[in-house]
Structure 1
Amino acid sequence: MAMARARRAETALADQRTHEDGAAGTRPVPLVIDLDGTLLRTDLLLEGMIALLRRNWLALFAMLFWLPQGRASFKHKVAEAAGLDVATLPVNEALLAHIEAQKAAGREIVLATAADELMALRALRCFPVFDRVIASDGVTNLKGEAKAAQLRALYPQGFDYAGDAANDLPVWAAARRVIVVEAPASVLRAARALGKPVEAIPAAPRARALLKALRPHQWAKNALVFLPLVLGGLAGEAKAWSVAGVAFLALGLVASASYLLNDLLDLAHDRAHWSKRERPLASGRLPLVAGLTAMLAGLAGGLTAAAAAGPAVLGGVLAYLGLTLVYSVWLKRVPMLDALILGGLFTLRLAIGVAAVAVPWSPWLLTFSMFLFTSLSFAKRHTELRGAVRRGRSGPIAGRGYQPADEAVVLAFGIASGLASVLIFILYLANEAFRHAVLAAPLALWSFPLILVLFMGRVWLLAGRDALHDDPVAFAVKDRPSLALAALAGFAFAVAAFGPPPGIPLPGIAQW
C-alpha cells in the first residue's frame, strides 16, 4: 500500500520540474522539506512531551517550569529530556519516494523544520537523503516568517518548499513552487491563493481515522448498564430506560476518550506491535492534536452526561475513569493483574447500571461478570502471545509484562475463568433469580449457561487456531456464530423480562 501511494505521488509530482532552469543550463533550485506533519506523520514536540509523561507524570511540573522560558527553549529541553527515537515514527512514504527521486536527479535536498535541532539531527541520521538541516536552536523558533526569512537569505535564487500547515504559508509565499502535503482543505486553498505553481499530496479522510480510534464497536460493552434494569423488574418503566440510556452514553464517551488516552501513552509500544502499529494515532493517519482534542471533548461530554444521570452514576463513571488511567499508566504492564483490572472495568459497568436505576445489588451477578470478562481479557493476551510466538519472539512483549513462555499459563487461567463464570451464573439462577417476583418468565434464563459455554468455547477454540482478533469484543461483533448466540441470548432475556410470546407457556415464579 505504501508503494502504491508512493507511485501515485510520484506520478502527481513528476511534472514539477526545473524546466526553466534546465533551459538556461543552471543547477536546479533546492527542494526544502518540512519535518512535522510533512515528512513525518506526527508532531515531534507532542511526541516528546507524551514520551516524558509516559515515563514519569511528574515531568508535567518540569514542563510547566520550562514553558515561560520561550517556545524555542521549551522545545530544546523537551528534545533533550525525551530522547525520542525518530526511526520509530511514521513516515510519509509517498513524499519520501519523491524526495529520493529528486535527490537522484541531482537536486539539493534541505530539511527545514521548526522542531529543535536535536530532533532534526536525529532525523538526518534516519534520512541520509538530506544535504543540509535548518532547525530551531533553543533561541530562535524557526517557524513561519522566521523560516521564510532564513531560507530567502540562504537561497536567493529560489527554492521549492513542501509543508502541511497554515504556518507554512509565509514560507510558500517566499518559495518558487509550493508542495502541500496532506494538509486540510483550508490550507490548500490558501496556498493556491498565493498564485504560485502548487502540487498536492492529498490526505486520507481523517474522519474515518478518528472514528476508528474512538472504537465505537466497543460501546457494545456498555449495554451491560441495561442488565440490572431488566433483572430488577424495571423493563416496563420508560424513566428507568431513559436514565440507563444516559448512563450508557456517558460510559461510551468516557470509554472512547480513555481509548484515545491509552493510545497516546502507548504510541511507542503500539508502533513496535505487529498489528497495533496500524492504529490511527500510531500510524500517523490521525494527527496527535486531533486525538488530544477528541479525548478532551469525550471526557467533557461523558462527565456532563454522567452528572445528568445522577450523583451515583457520576461517581461510578469517575471511578471507571480513574481505574482506566491507572491501568493505562501502570497496571497494564503487570501480568495477570492487567486481565483482572479489565474484568473489573466490565463489572463496573454493571455497577453503574445498578446505581442508575437504583435496584438491589446482586453479588452473584457482579461475580459472574468479573469471571466472564476476565476470561475474555485473558483471551486477548493469549492472542498477543500466540502472535509473538508465531513471529519467533522470545523476549518480553512490548508494553506488557508477559513473555511468550507465559502462553500456557494464560490459556489455563482464561479457560478456567470462563468456566467459572458459567458455574457462577448457574448458582445465581439457583439461589437468587427465582426468589423475587420481578421477572415474568425467569425459566428462560436457564438457556444462558448453554449459550455461554458455546460462546466461550468458540472464543478459545479460535484463539488456539490463531483465528481470533486481538480484541474478543471486536471479534464478537463481526463473527456470525457469535452474533447468532447474542441474538438467541437477547431473545431469552426478553422472554424472561416480558414473558413468552402468546401461545408458548412457560412456568412463572409461582411454579417455582
Structure 2
Amino acid sequence: MSLATLPVEKAPRRAGEGGLPPLAVDVDGTLIRGDLLAESALQYLRGNPFRAFTLLYWLAGGRAALKRRLAERVELDVSELPVNEELVALVEAEHARGRTIHLATASDALAAAKLAKRFGFVDGVIASDGVTNLKGETKARALAELFPDGFAYAGDAAADLAVWRAAKESVVVNAARSTLRAAEAIRPPLAVIPRRPLGLRTLARAARVHQWAKNALVAVPLILGGRAFEPSAWATVAIGFALLGLLASSTYALNDLWDLDDDRRHWSKRDRAFASGRLPIAAGLVAAPLGILIALVGAAMLGLAAFASFVAYLVVTLAYSFRLKRVAVLDVFTLASLFTLRLVIGIALAAVPGSPWLLVFSMFVFSSLSFAKRHTEMVRVARSGADKAHGRGYVAADAPFLIGMGVATGMSAVLVMVLYLIDEAFRAGFYSTPAALWAFPCVLFLWLGRVWVLSGRNELHDDPVAFAVRDKPSLLLGAVMALAFMVAVAPRALVFW
C-alpha cells in the first residue's frame, strides 16, 4: 500500500475546497489521548503474555512492519478510545468552513482507517503502510507531495516540527513546552490546545494510594500478637506496609491496563488514568514491573517468610486480574483471600504466631464486603438496562443471590467473632479486661447492616472499604471499636508506660 490518502466511505470534498488548505491531523497523542500501537500491542498481549517475544521478533523488522502485523491481527474497539474533545471541536468547525480533513499518522493505515470511520469529518487517511513509518521528515514529504498547494497540520510531538515547517498553517496540540516554543518559532500557530497538567493527584489515583488503607491490616497481627509496644517491630511492619503498598499499586496498574476496554465502558472506571488517556500505556508497562521488582527485593531483605508471603500476594493478585475476576463466586473468594493474605504478611513481618480465628474471621467479613461490591455493580447494570457487566461473571439477575450471600457471610463473621470471645479471648493472657471486647460483634453487626442497607438502596460506593474511610457513621463505629480495644488492654499499656 503506497503512502497516499485512503478515501473514507463518503462523498469526499476536493482538497482546498472553500479556499482553505486541507487540514492533516495526527492521531497518536493528538486526535486521541493515547497511541494506536500501544493499544494494539496491549490487546495482542492479553491473548497470551508470552506473545511479547513475538512482538520483539516483529520489531526487528522495523516499526512499520510491527504496526502492520498488529493491525492485521488485532480488532481495536476504536469507538471507546479517549479523544481530545477540544481538537475534535476545532476540526469539526474547520470542516464546516470548507476544509478537507485527513488523518496523517505514523500508525498503520489499517488501524487508522478504522478510526476514521468514527468521525464524520474525515475525508481521507495517510498512514504507515507496513514498509515505511510515516513520521517526521517522511510525513512532511508525503504531505507536501499529496498537497502541493499547501496544507495545515495538527500535531503534538517534537517529530512533528518537520511537518510544521513544510505546512502553511500549524495547530499545536498537547505539546511539551519546548515543542510549543519550537513550533511558535516556525510560525504563529492557528490554534494551540494546551497539554493537561499531570498532577500528583492523577498519579496518586493511578497508583490508587487511597487503597493503601487496606494494607493497615498488616499491623493487626502485631497488635494482637502482643508486640504493640515494641518500636523495632513497628519499624519492620512500617517498612513492610510501604513495600506492600508499592506492590499493590504496581498490580493495580497492570490490572487497569489489562481491563482497559472494560473500564472505558464502565460508568466510573472510565475516568481512571489509563482508561481516560491521562497516563500513557507505555508508562504503566514500565512502572508496574519496576515497582514489583523493588517491592520483592525489599521483602526479601525483611526475611524469607515476608518474601514468600509477598510472592503469594503477587501471584493471587495477578491471577485475579487476568482471569479469576471473571468467574462468579470465585472472584469474591479470591478478593477475600487477598485481604487475608495481608494479615499473613503482617504475621510474617511481626514474627508472631498466626491465629486461625483471625484468618477465618477475615475470610468471612471480606467475602461479605466483596459481595457488596459485586451487588452494587449488578444493581447499576440492571438500572442501565444492560444484562451483564463487562469483565465480570455475573448478570443483573444475580443481584438477589449476591445480597443473600453477602448478608450470610457477614453474619458468619459476627458469629466467628462471638465464638472467639467465648472460647479464647477470656482465657488469653493478652487482654486485661476482655469483657470490653463484646463491643466488637455489636459494632460489626451494626456496620455490616449499614453496608447492606445502603447496597440495597444503591447508595453504596463500588468499593465498601473506600466507602468506610469516608462515611462518618462508619468512622464513628470504628472509633468505638478502637476505644473498646484500648479498654481491653489498657492496664498493660499503663504498666508499660
Length-normalised TM-score, structure 2 = 0.92
CA 1:183/1:445 → structure 2, altered by over 3 Å: closer, same or farther? farther
**Counterparts of residues 85-484 of structure 1 (less than 5 Å):** 85-197=77-189, 199-207=191-199, 208-394=201-387, 396-484=388-476
The one-character-per-residue Cα deviations of 1:396-445 (angstroms, maximum 9, x if unpaired) are: 32111111111111111111111111111222222233433234544333
Deviating more after overlay: 190-199 vs 451-460: 190-199
User: Could you tell me how far 1:193 is from its partner in structure 2?
Assistant: 4.1
User: Could you tell me how far 1:191 is from its partner in structure 2?
Assistant: 2.9
Deviating more after overlay: 486-495 vs 398-407: 486-495
User: Could you tell me how far 1:291 is from its partner in structure 2?
Assistant: 2.8
- Contact 1:233-1:497 at 8 Å conserved across structures: no
> How many angstroms apart in 1 are the aligned matches of 2:196 and 2:214?
29
CA 1:111/1:452 → structure 2, altered by over 3 Å: closer, same or farther? same
User: Could you tell me how far 1:262 is from its partner in structure 2?
Assistant: 0.7
Q: Secondary structure at the match of 2:30?
A: coil
- Contact 1:31-1:159 at 8 Å conserved across structures: yes
> How many angstroms apart in 1 are the aligned matches of 2:262 and 2:439?
42
User: Could you tell me how far 1:176 is from its partner in structure 2?
Assistant: 2.9
> How many angstroms apart in 2 are the aligned matches of 1:140 and 1:230?
64
Deviating more after overlay: 177-186 vs 142-151: 177-186
CA 1:307/1:192 → structure 2, altered by over 3 Å: closer, same or farther? farther
Deviating more after overlay: 146-155 vs 111-120: 146-155
CA 1:298/1:110 → structure 2, altered by over 3 Å: closer, same or farther? same
> How many angstroms apart in 2 are the aligned matches of 1:165 and 1:492?
59
How many residue pairs get aligned? The number is 479
User: Could you tell me how far 1:391 is from its partner in structure 2?
Assistant: 1.2
CA 1:238/1:441 → structure 2, altered by over 3 Å: closer, same or farther? farther
2:232 is aligned with what amino acid?
K
The aligned counterpart of 2:485 is: 493
CA 1:348/1:501 → structure 2, altered by over 3 Å: closer, same or farther? closer
Length-normalised TM-score, structure 1 = 0.89
The aligned counterpart of 1:78 is: 70
CA 1:47/1:298 → structure 2, altered by over 3 Å: closer, same or farther? same
User: Could you tell me how far 1:57 is from its partner in structure 2?
Assistant: 2.7
Instruction: Give the RMSD, CA atoms, in angstroms.
Output: 2.1
CA 1:278/1:197 → structure 2, altered by over 3 Å: closer, same or farther? closer
Deviating more after overlay: 186-195 vs 350-359: 186-195
> How many angstroms apart in 2 are the aligned matches of 1:441 and 1:135?
75
- Contact 1:231-1:497 at 8 Å conserved across structures: no
1:202 is aligned with what amino acid?
P
- Contact 1:35-1:111 at 8 Å conserved across structures: yes
> How many angstroms apart in 2 are the aligned matches of 1:203 and 1:439?
58
Q: What's the % identity of the aligned pairs?
A: 53
> How many angstroms apart in 1 are the aligned matches of 2:53 and 2:75?
18
User: Could you tell me how far 1:276 is from its partner in structure 2?
Assistant: 1.7
User: Could you tell me how far 1:26 is from its partner in structure 2?
Assistant: 8.1
> How many angstroms apart in 2 are the aligned matches of 1:268 and 1:27?
41
CA 1:491/1:165 → structure 2, altered by over 3 Å: closer, same or farther? farther
Q: Secondary structure at the match of 1:203?
A: coil
User: Could you tell me how far 1:29 is from its partner in structure 2?
Assistant: 1.5
User: Could you tell me how far 1:237 is from its partner in structure 2?
Assistant: 0.3
